[in-house]
Structure 1
């Protein structure tokens, strides 16, 4: 069985999507639609902007989403998913790819998500840190005993977990984790504490938009960050998507469940190869590849 996976924020690069725009009339049409929907020329920034330009939250999330979704659409008959999943932002790409959301509604939600998260980041100084070389349970225990808000946020693969919260609390947790034997515990260059309780204002903002959006029956199940199991019910997908902003991304568990349910190959759709690397660390026997236009 074939699983298609969609990357999240951080996968962007200068020039992303330009080849799709040039090679495919369908891609060109969708990129042009995106510029109209967003009210600014995101294609100018994606194709010609600097890495710094692409770091703007209002640009980064729609840019990664557009690259993934448009690539999945121009694959045509090549795109035959038995299941899909996306890492954080990538879950929105996955939900358009499996037809739960249409292109325009998906892009609008991603744009609102980016703005809501940016606003939440401005309310309180917060950050994230990558922790390498420790068991998940130990990282969770250290977060629980650290003063202030700090939680496990991204379960990326065994031995790689990202924590998230108030700057001082994350720094304290990093020191404690190093003392407990972490190979590394380092702050990440991000604007805020994603997938933590500090994203509650963003969750509230996005919840209303999600509730007012039509979710269709998908063509295949999605393994969502919050639940980690196969989901096909539009109402359940909605509920999980609303909680995603304040809940951890359980990528390790999602991939393990996909393999348990029969996935033998994972195709990454979008910029970069980060997810392929994580899948291999979760299960060396899994086949991985990048989606490409034939």
Structure 2
């Protein structure tokens, strides 16, 4: 079975999407439509902006979404998913790819999500840190024993977990994790504590937008970050998407379930190759590749 996977924040790069724009009429139309929907020229930033320009929250998430979704559409008949999944933000790309959301609604939700997350970051100083070389259970236990808010946020692959929370709590947890034998426990250059209870204001704001949006029955299952199992019910997809902002991204568990359910070939659609690397670390026996024209 063909599994198509979609990257999240951090996969952006200067010039992303320019080849699609220049070589495919359908891509050009969709990029121009995106400029109209967003109310600013995101293509200028994607194609010619600086890395700093691309890091703006209102740009980063829509840019990655656009690159992924437009690539999946340009692939045309070569895009034949039996199952899809997305890492955090990538879940929205996956939902357009499997026809749960249309292009316009998906982009609007991603834009609203980015702005809501930015607002939540400004309410309370917070951060995230990558932890390498420890079992998940050890990281979970240390987070629970640390004062303040610090929680597991991204289960990326065995031995790689990202924690999220208040700055002091994350720093304290990092020290304990190093003492427990972590190969690395380092702060990430992010604006706030994504996938933690500190994103509750964003979750509430996005919930209203998601509830007001039409979700169709998908053409194939999506393995969402929260339940990690195959989902085909539009109502369940909505509920899981709302929960995602304050819940951990269980990427390891999602990929393991996809493989268990018959996923043999994992194709990453969008900028970068990060997810392919994670999939190979989860199970070295599966095929991985990039979606290319």
Same fold (TM over 0.5): yes
Kindly indicate whether residue 253 of structure 2 is the aligned counterpart of residue 253 of structure 1. yes
Counterparts of 1:153-232 in structure 2, within 5 Å, are: 153-232=153-232
Q: Distance in 2 between matches of 1:50 and 1:16?
A: 11
Q: Which residue of 1 aligns with 2:31?
A: 31
Instruction: Report the secondary structure of 2:53's partner residue.
Output: helix
Counterparts of 1:1-294 in structure 2, within 5 Å, are: 1-293=1-293
Q: Distance in 1 between matches of 2:66 and 2:74?
A: 12
Task: Return the TM-score normalized by structure 2.
Answer: 1.00
- The CA RMSD over aligned residues, in Å, is 0.2
Q: CA deviation at 1:206?
A: 0.1
Q: CA deviation at 1:280?
A: 0.1
Q: Which runs of 5+ in 1 are unaligned?
A: none
Describe the superposition over 1:11-64 as per-residue Cα deviations: whole angstroms up to 9, x where unpaired: 000000000000100000000000000000000000000111000000000000
Q: CA deviation at 1:3?
A: 0.1
Task: Return the TM-score normalized by structure 1.
Answer: 1.00
Query: What is the total number of aligned residue pairs between the two structures?
Result: 293
Q: CA deviation at 1:185?
A: 0.2
Describe the superposition over 1:258-289 as per-residue Cα deviations: whole angstroms up to 9, x where unpaired: 00000001000000000000000000001000
Q: CA deviation at 1:134?
A: 0.3
Q: Distance in 2 between matches of 1:137 and 1:207?
A: 31
Q: Distance in 2 between matches of 1:265 and 1:129?
A: 30
Q: Distance in 1 between matches of 2:204 and 2:179?
A: 37
Describe the superposition over 1:40-98 as per-residue Cα deviations: whole angstroms up to 9, x where unpaired: 00000000001110000000000000000000000000000000000000000000000
Describe the superposition over 1:123-177 as per-residue Cα deviations: whole angstroms up to 9, x where unpaired: 0000000000000000000000000000000000000000000000000000000
Instruction: Report the secondary structure of 1:30's partner residue.
Output: helix
Q: Distance in 1 between matches of 2:55 and 2:209?
A: 24
Describe the superposition over 1:203-255 as per-residue Cα deviations: whole angstroms up to 9, x where unpaired: 00000000000000000000000000000000000000000000000000000
